[in-house]
Amino acid sequence: MIAIGPYFRANMENSTMDKGLKRFIWISRAEGISFLLLLGIAMPLKYAFAMPLAVKYVGWAHGILFIAYIIQLLIVGIKLKWDELRILFGGIAALLPFGPFVFERSLKRNSKSE
């Protein structure tokens, strides 16, 4: 079970948002890890050791997780009434290594200050 803490609960109106945010956090972490695996393991295997299948399978998994991340970002952003800038930042974060982790941390920090 994931502990999301009181910093997220302050902005929630009902349990469906709680579930949606938990789902977003799980997808965000999985997407971030898959991106790091793609860049840090699969790409070197492809180019240094001529093993292109690693990129094929890790890239495929990362692509599905990326799409799920964007969809869940929009769902949670709308339900929690995030402003457009926060949703845009979350989308840009998905394009950067370690971005989803930084975005999650910024959500925690912003929720504590609200």
Residue 4, domain member (yes or no): no
Count of domains in the chain? 1
Residue 6, domain member (yes or no): no
Residue 109, domain member (yes or no): yes
CA 27 to mean position of chain CA atoms: 5
Locate 44 and state its tokens. 């070197």
pLDDT, average across residues 91-97: 96
Residue 5, domain member (yes or no): no
Q: What percent of the chain has pLDDT over 70?
A: 82
Find out whether 42 and 60 touch, Cβ atoms under 8 Å.
no
Residue 91, domain member (yes or no): yes
Range of the domain at 39: 14-113
User: Whole-prediction pTM value?
Assistant: 0.81
Residue 78, domain member (yes or no): yes
H helices of 1-114, in order, are 6-9, 15-37, 43-49, 53-79, 84-93, 99-113
User: Which is more confident, 85 or 11?
Assistant: 85
Residue 20, domain member (yes or no): yes
